[in-house]
């Protein structure tokens, strides 16, 4: 159980300036340049971060390539890699509160959520893929007589991973753990505004026994080190979670370099659809509010579009607004806070700008819409509900990535499907109905990688997460995640 005293003690510890993690040790930027890390809690400088250059990234990639080629990890027995990743999971659990507090100081997620979704989730992810390592088999193909046809699973080589700031440990682990489990080397580029917990994970990996050079972290601006990673001729696979604009650039970089495979999770504008026969409308309102407002709406699968059947629209929106107003927004390291900070001043200003645009396009502000707690120096925003939102409005089409909900009424199933599928995104969705036939029709008709029925959120590691349309390709989580980190090699043997 979390205790406020322990949290306060950890937040009082100064954070030293951080270097890259290359070839098993901390390393300053080659240029000596340092980025200021600003905490969203109070807007104050938290520490300095190595501002990497292309030379720094190329050094990390060379280290990863050398480690892969000499087999210090790639050629070890699966049982050995399994032991090391289990040991890493143990170390993450040992330091879970320290990692969580460090991460919250860096990115602003409320600690009650971050403790489970970041540190404990990361430990669980490393355990899951540790257990998978010695249970992935090759194949024997049924082919001609006197031929033995084998299909081997081989590690791809060097994996480049670029991860976002909203859940750096959770999303980072979704990529790090299966890549290492498969025997690859890795170069990770975290968001420059949320690198601290991932640098700590790299140090714990070294402590657990991951050999030098196998897991490297390079920090700095995406336009510099991210570009160098994507353009590298020695990176075999690139995995990314972030914006569509950046994803497009990464595909261009792949084409301009070695045609490395790129797997992209590019966010969403997820519809959460409430029918008049939902089994418990009050529960649907409570869960729907949490599904958009937790972590200040900074969740890729957030139910940011609420579609409500016309005959229950007004009552349902009133119940949802009551839940929105009841959330306690404040210091994310205070256990009493239910919603923490918006990640940065830039993000906060963008969120407020979407509210202004929505009103200009004819939407109604039902609750929220304002910056609060400005006297703290931090970045906080009221949970915001906009009604009378047309499916073509900016707020219904673009990913806000903030605590802003767009509400649109619908008539019937066909209308709900039309509206739900009317954006370029297809990451997640939700349906509330007690009609089993309707639930299955909606699952079939809505174009999204994940669809929740009579709930929103909570899918665990046993199932994949991935999008359709412009929400990306490939999958994190589950056994399917390993597909990105293995090559298939056919052996055709004449007997």
- Average pLDDT score over the chain: 97
Do 262 and 304 reside in the same domain of the chain? no
C-alpha to C-alpha distance for 374 and 248, rounded to whole angstroms: 36
**Whether residues 181 and 71 fall in one domain:** yes
Number of domains in the chain: 2
Is the residue at 466 inside a domain?
no
**Per-residue pLDDT, 333:** 98
Whether residue 424 sits in one domain with residue 384: yes
pLDDT at 87 over 90: yes
On whether residue 103 sits in a domain, the answer given is yes
Contact 187, 159 (CB under 8 A): yes
327 and 179 both lie in a single domain: no
Task: Kindly tell me if the per-residue pLDDT of 231 is higher than 90.
Answer: yes
Together in a domain, 285 and 367 = yes
Tell whether 456 is covered by a domain.
yes
pLDDT at 206: 98
Q: What pLDDT is recorded for position 283?
A: 98
Q: What is the rounded CA–CA span in Å between residue 253 and residue 228?
A: 9
Q: Is the pLDDT of residue 245 over 90?
A: yes
- 40 and 89 in a single domain? The answer is yes
Beta-strand pair 34-38/45-50: antiparallel
Provide the domain limits for residue 117.
Answer: 4-266+472-492
Has residue 184 been placed in a domain? yes
The pLDDT of residue 142 is 95
User: Residue 149: which CATH number?
Assistant: 3.40.605.10
Per-residue pLDDT for 469 more than 90? yes
Instruction: Name the H helices within 303-446.
Output: 313-326, 345-360, 394-397, 413-420, 436-445
Is the domain of 367 the same as that of 479?
no
Cα→Cα distances 428→79, 235, 371, 465, 480, Å:
36, 30, 28, 9, 18
Global pTM reads: 0.97
Residues 252, 286 within the same domain:
no
In a domain, residue 414? The reply is: yes
Do 258 and 275 reside in the same domain of the chain?
A: no
**DSSP-assigned letter for residue 286:** H
Query: Distance (Å, rounded) from C-alpha 276 to C-alpha 295?
Result: 28
How much of the chain, in percent, has pLDDT values that exceed 70? 100
- Rounded Cα distance between 44 and 298, Å, is 21
Q: Which of 118, 192, 265, 413 is catalytic?
A: 265
Range 79-103 average pLDDT? 98
Burial of 347-379, coded b for 16+ CB within 10 Å and e otherwise, reads bbeebbebbeebeebebebbbbbeeebeeeebb
Residues 350-379: tens digit of each pLDDT? 999 999 999 999 999 999 999 999 999 999
Start-to-end C-alpha separation, the chain: 62
**Same domain assignment for residues 213 and 336:** no
pLDDT in tens, 116-146: 999 999 999 999 999 999 999 999 999 999 9
Determine, yes or no, domain membership for 467.
Answer: no
Indicate which CATH number applies to the domain containing 408. Answer: 3.40.309.10
User: Which helix (H) or strand (E) is 123 found in, with range?
Assistant: helix 121-132
**Residue 122 forms part of a structural domain:** yes
Predicted pLDDT at 1 = 86
User: Does residue 465 sit within a domain?
Assistant: no
- What pLDDT shows up at residue 193? 94
Tell me, yes or no, whether 101 and 196 share the same domain: yes
Q: Is 282 a catalytic residue?
A: no
225 and 253 together in one domain: yes
């Amino acid at each position: 159980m979390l205790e406020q005293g322990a949290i306060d003690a950890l937040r009082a510890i100064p954070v030293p300036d951080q270097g890259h993690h290359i070839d098993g040790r901390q390393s300053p930027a080659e240029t000596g340049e340092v980025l200021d890390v600003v905490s969203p809690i109070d807007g104050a400088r938290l520490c300095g971060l190595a501002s990497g250059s292309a030379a720094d990234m190329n050094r990390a990639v060379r280290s990863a390539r050398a480690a892969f080629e000499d087999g210090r990890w790639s050629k070890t027995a699966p049982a050995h890699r399994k032991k090391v990743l289990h040991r890493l999971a143990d170390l993450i659990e040992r330091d879970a509160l320290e990692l969580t507090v460090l991460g919250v100081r860096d990115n602003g997620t409320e600690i009650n959520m971050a403790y489970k979704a970041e540190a404990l989730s990361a430990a669980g992810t490393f355990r899951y893929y540790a257990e998978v390592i010695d249970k992935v088999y090759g194949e024997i193909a049924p082919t001609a007589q006197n031929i033995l046809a084998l299909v081997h699973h081989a590690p791809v080589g060097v994996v480049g991973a670029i991860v976002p700031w909203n859940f750096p440990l959770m999303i980072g682990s979704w990529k790090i753990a299966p890549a290492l489990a498969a025997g690859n080397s890795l170069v990770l580029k975290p968001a420059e505004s949320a690198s601290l917990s991932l640098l700590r994970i790299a140090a714990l990996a070294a402590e657990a026994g991951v050999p030098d050079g196998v897991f490297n972290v390079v920090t700095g601006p995406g336009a510099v080190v991210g570009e160098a990673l994507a353009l590298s001729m020695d990176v075999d696979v690139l995995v990314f979670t972030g914006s569509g604009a950046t994803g497009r650039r990464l595909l261009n970089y792949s084409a301009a370099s070695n045609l490395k495979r790129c797997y992209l999770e590019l966010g969403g504008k997820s519809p959460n659809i409430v029918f008049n026969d939902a089994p418990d409308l009050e529960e649907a309102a409570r869960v729907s509010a949490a599904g958009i407002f937790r972590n200040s709406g900074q969740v890729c699968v957030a139910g940011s579009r609420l579609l409500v059947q016309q005959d229950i629209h007004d009552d349902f929106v009133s119940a949802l607004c009551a839940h929105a107003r009841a959330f306690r927004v404040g210091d994310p390291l205070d256990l009493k806070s239910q919603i923490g900070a918006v990640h940065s001043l830039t993000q906060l200003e963008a969120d407020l700008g979407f509210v202004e645009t929505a009103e200009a396009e004819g939407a109604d502000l039902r609750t929220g819409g304002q910056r609060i707690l400005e006297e703290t120096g931090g970045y906080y925003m009221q949970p915001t509900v906009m009604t009378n939102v047309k499916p073509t409005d900016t707020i219904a089409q673009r990913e806000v990535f903030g605590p802003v909900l767009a509400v649109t009424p619908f008539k019937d199933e066909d209308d709900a499907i039309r509206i739900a599928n009317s954006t370029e995104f297809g990451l997640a969705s939700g349906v509330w109905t007690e009609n089993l036939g309707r639930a299955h029709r909606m699952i079939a008709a809505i174009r999204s990688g994940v669809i929740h029925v009579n709930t929103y959120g909570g899918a665990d590691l046993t199932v994949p997460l991935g999008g359709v349309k412009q929400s990306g390709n490939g999958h994190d989580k589950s056994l399917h995640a390993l597909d990105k980190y293995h090559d298939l090699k056919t052996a055709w043997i004449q007997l």
